[in-house]
Amino acid sequence: MPPRTLPEKEFHSHAPGYWQDKNVTPEQWNSHVWQLKNRVTTLAGLEEHLTLSEEERAGVLLSGNKLAMAITPHYFNLIHPTNPDCAIRRQVIPRIEETWEDPNEMSDPCGEDSHMPVPGLVHRYPDRVLFLVTDRCASYCRYCTRSRVVSGVGEQELHTEFEAAFRYLEEHTEVRDVLLSGGDALLLSDNKLESILKRIRAIPHIEFLRIGSRVPIFLPQRITPELCQMLAKYHPLWMSVHVNHPRELTTEVKEGLERLANHGIPLGNQSVLLRGVNDNPEVMKSLVHKLLMCRVRPYYLYQCDLIQGSSHLRTSVSKGVEIIEHLRGHTTGYGVPQFVIDAPGGGGKVPVNPDYVVMKDDQRTLVRNYEGEFFEYPEPGNQVATWSSTPANRLSMIWEPGAKW
């Protein structure tokens, strides 16, 4: 077979991009403080560089009272100047559809508020907790599942009582895993973040720390050697990043991810399945290949939560299953994430998989492989009539759904 070229497989630097004529020194560009200070947050800021559609203009004007708009210059440079269908645009530029009401949508789709024993701590699973340490992010994803508390303009304020949370963790010896998120924990200063990590690390039963962050993608300048050295003092510490489209993996992002990996931090990726962004098997294959090159293991692919104003970004569950089928067997197993639905209302993450087990009884299991061929596996002590010891071990049968076996 001829080698196929996957979309946007290369790593590029897009700097200085739209900031070309603005006399920005490399020192400024490479400073996360400068990047944060120069985020694009207004309609005028967008229109200085981009031609917006009516849906986008109206969206920017109307939706900003629910979830602020902010885009770092680094990430802004990935946006196509004129195409409203650009996969990067759809993630960070509001559209009028955000104000639409859908009866299935919720402000807290994963039911987090009802699982908070103390403010800021979500304890849903038996042995691990989610600790929301800030309400700020480097840029705001339009489909944010936590838009009710994130960015400072929404309906709720994020209350985090650090002392109460630390006490809860100390008392609850069943908790062995703490996941820092927010907002984005990497927006805290090194000192503030270290004070939290140090305090949690001092609790003997906490075995495992992780940080969920999109800062390596939105603001790779924040991944400084100093930050990495600090984090490495608190091992085992893992990190889950959030990349949805292969173009987000720029040269600068790759360098930041490699720096984290070089400091012994295992990296996973959590993608959200988004219409017009990554609901395409070839785009997802390109993404997982690039992640592996950055030493990031694709971890989860999320069905988009039923967050208010996300109908234009959601797609069908079967699309997610189709993407997994397109990856499993066809490419590196490390590159295949687990597709999950975070159960609406607060049931936690539920895996959703293609059906590879076609039929099963107490003597045998009939499975289907990635190429659509059928194989029979006998249970211990059972002799299956059609079982053959040839390496191919294939059944030459066509199975139709509902057929008697």
Active site (annotated) includes residue 57: no
Catalytic residue among 146, 214, 254, 314: 146
User: Which residues, 6 or more positions from 80, have their beta carbon under 8 angstroms from its beta carbon?
Assistant: 86, 88, 89
Active site (annotated) includes residue 176: no
Interface mask (CB under 6 A) for ligand PLP, residues 306-345, using x and -? ----------------------------------------
Dihedral angle at the C-alpha atoms of 317, 322, 323, 328, nearest 10 degrees? 130
Please count the residues of this chain forming the interface with ligand PLP, following the rule CB under 6 A: 7
Residues 218, 138 contacting (CB under 8 angstroms) = yes
> Residue 17, SS3?
helix
Q: Smallest distance, Å, CB 49 to ligand PLP?
A: 36
Taking the least distance from each CB to ligand PLP, the nearer of 130 and 169 is 130
* Residue 88: C-alpha distances to residues 126, 140, 172, 248, 276 (Å): 36, 12, 41, 8, 10
Taking the least distance from each CB to ligand PLP, the nearer of 9 and 349 is 349
Among positions 285-304, residues that touch ligand PLP (CB under 6 A) are: none
Q: Smallest distance, Å, CB 112 to ligand PLP?
A: 6
Q: Which residue has the tokens 């199975």?
A: 399
Under the binding rule (CB under 6 A), the answer on residue 128 touching ligand PLP is: yes
Catalytic residue among 128, 148, 222, 314: 128
Known binding residue 294? Answer is: no
Interface mask (CB under 6 A) for ligand PLP, residues 13-52, using x and -? ----------------------------------------
Interface mask (CB under 6 A) for ligand PLP, residues 87-126, using x and -? -----------------------------------x-xx-
Active site (annotated) includes residue 146: yes
Catalytic residue among 90, 110, 142, 144: 144
How much of the chain is helix, strand and coil, in % rounded to 5? 30, 20, 50
Active site (annotated) includes residue 294: no
User: Which residues, 6 or more positions from 96, have their beta carbon under 8 angstroms from its beta carbon?
Assistant: 54, 55, 56, 58, 59, 62, 63
Q: What's 343's DSSP letter?
A: E
164 closest CA partner among 212, 188, 131:
131
Residues 366, 395 contacting (CB under 8 angstroms) = yes
Taking the least distance from each CB to ligand PLP, the nearer of 37 and 205 is 205
In angstroms and rounded to an integer, the radius of gyration of the C-alpha atoms of the chain is 23
Taking the least distance from each CB to ligand PLP, the nearer of 2 and 351 is 351
Among positions 177-216, residues that touch ligand PLP (CB under 6 A) are: 179
Taking the chain, what is the end-to-end CA distance rounded to the nearest angstrom?
36
Q: Smallest distance, Å, CB 338 to ligand PLP?
A: 9
d(CA 404, CA 165): 56
Active site (annotated) includes residue 305: yes
Active site (annotated) includes residue 349: yes
Other beta carbons within 10 angstroms of residue 36's beta carbon come to 19
Active site (annotated) includes residue 124: yes
- Give binding residues as ranges: 137, 141, 144
Site residues for ligand PLP per CB under 6 A: 122, 124-125, 128, 130, 179, 349
Catalytically annotated residues = 124-125, 128, 137, 141, 144, 146, 305, 342, 349
